[in-house]
Amino acid sequence: MFEAFFPDECIGSAYDIDYESLYEQGYRGIIYDIDNTLVPHDAPADERAIGLFGRLSEIGFSCLLLSNNKEPRVKDFADDVGALYIHKAGKPGRRGYLRAMEKLKTDRETTIFIGDQLFTDVYGAKRSGIRNILVEQIDKKEEIQIVLKRVLERIVMRAYRKKHR
């Protein structure tokens, strides 16, 4: 019943992922959500995020930020970390994910998505045929509409964990 929302993988943090292994598996493009995936909501790029994107570039990845946020927020963060970006992406719609792969010059088999929300990030990636990794939200302080979605996410994740024991 909830399988459409199940992540392909769950990891505690975007900073704990074995990116070298992903590269060895043939992935060349990474699409990220920003808020609560890389930094707390509305926070600027910090040293950790800047360092991560530098490391990813050295490995050989192309990176893109896919956000439903407005352009000033997304552009400033992208400029700071040296990534491509798409703002007002319309997640979980497929269009933003498909445009992201075009910009990255990758395809479904060579692209991975990393985000913190099931109903926008993971669902959109799954609908687009992109492998996805769900990470834990960085900060519990969020806008009310996201807090309400988190209640439903917990129900889906209970079903996910039950199935993946």
Tokens 């979980």 identify what position? 92
Superfamily, domain 3-163? HAD superfamily/HAD-like (3.40.50.1000)
Helix axis angle, 47-59 relative to 71-81, nearest 10°? 60
Tell me the torsion sign for CA atoms 44, 101, 93, 137: negative
Q: Is the pLDDT of residue 145 over 80?
A: no
* 12-61 pLDDT, tens digit each: 999 999 999 999 999 999 999 999 999 999 999 999 999 999 999 999 99
* 100-117 pLDDT, tens digit each: 999 999 999 999 999 999
Task: Please measure the distance between the N-terminal and C-terminal CA atoms of the chain and give it in whole angstroms.
Answer: 17
Q: Which of 2-11, 15-24, 58-67 is the least confident region?
A: 2-11
User: Please, which pLDDT band fits residue 5 given cuts at 50, 70 and 90?
Assistant: very high
Beta bridge partners of 62: 29
In the β-sheet with 62-66, what is the strand arrangement from edge to edge?
9-11, 131-135, 111-115, 29-32, 62-66, 84-86
- What integer is the mean pLDDT of 80-107? 98
The pLDDT score that the predictor gives to residue 154 is 85
Nearest to 104 by CA among 70, 72, 65: 65
**Whole-prediction pTM:** 0.92
Mean pLDDT of the chain: 94
Structural domain spans, the chain: 3-163
